[in-house]
Amino acid sequence: TRSFSDKAAPLAAAAAGISVGGRAASAAKKKHASTDTGNTITKEARSEGAISSKTYWTYIKNMGSATTLAGLFCMAVFERSLNVSTSVWLALWSENHFKTLNQGDYLGVYAGIGLSQAAVSWVRTFAWALASLAAANTLHLGLFKATLTTRLSFFDTTPLGRVIQRFTKDTAVLDNTLGQSVSGFVSFGVLLIGTLAGMAWVM
């Protein structure tokens, strides 16, 4: 019988950095050795360092379908493209690159780019928040179902506070940290590429 389902393992690993096996009881004994005092409470195994890429990928897959992820990525690209466009347009404006345009025309285009960027940024932020909420909800339900279907012997060897910790503080880390990390990585990664492309085009 599995102590935790494979679906709940990434959640526990991401939230608390612990390694949950979900294999036979003999393998679980190797990962959770009993204390030297002879009691039945198992020691909590923790992994230190950065969150693994597998955990991030599990979180991203639970944000939605492939179409949803593609839409989020396109919105990030569009938003950062407008961000780079403001700098490019200012450079063209300062050089009066388009001789047929007056100062009012330059200003109107610049204002239009700024308003478009603000609108797209709001939509992207709202869409990422909904996707992060969907991922957190899916992973939380997976942990909840795994806890309900685990063996009773698990609760005999695991302190109740440790179980509650997974549903409170560790789940909050998933809700507040992973989503922002993924969004920030995509957003600033696209911005970096767009900035380099814009500099190469202007030069």
Q: Name the average pLDDT for the chain.
A: 75
| 35 and 43 Cβ atoms separated by less than 8 Å | yes
For the stretch 67-83, pLDDT in tens is 998 998 898 888 888 88
Q: Is the pLDDT of residue 46 over 70?
A: no
Name the more confident of 20 and 50. 50
- Band (pLDDT 50/70/90 cuts) for residue 61 is confident
| pLDDT for the residue numbered 110 | 92
Q: Does residue 183 surpass a pLDDT of 60? A: yes
pLDDT at 174 over 80: no
Does residue 179 contact residue 137 with C-beta atoms inside 8 Å? no
pLDDT at residue 7 tops 90: no
Nearest to 120 by CA among 76, 177, 57, 63: 76
CA distance 122 to 79: 10
Note the pLDDT tens digit of each residue in 127-137: 988 888 888 88
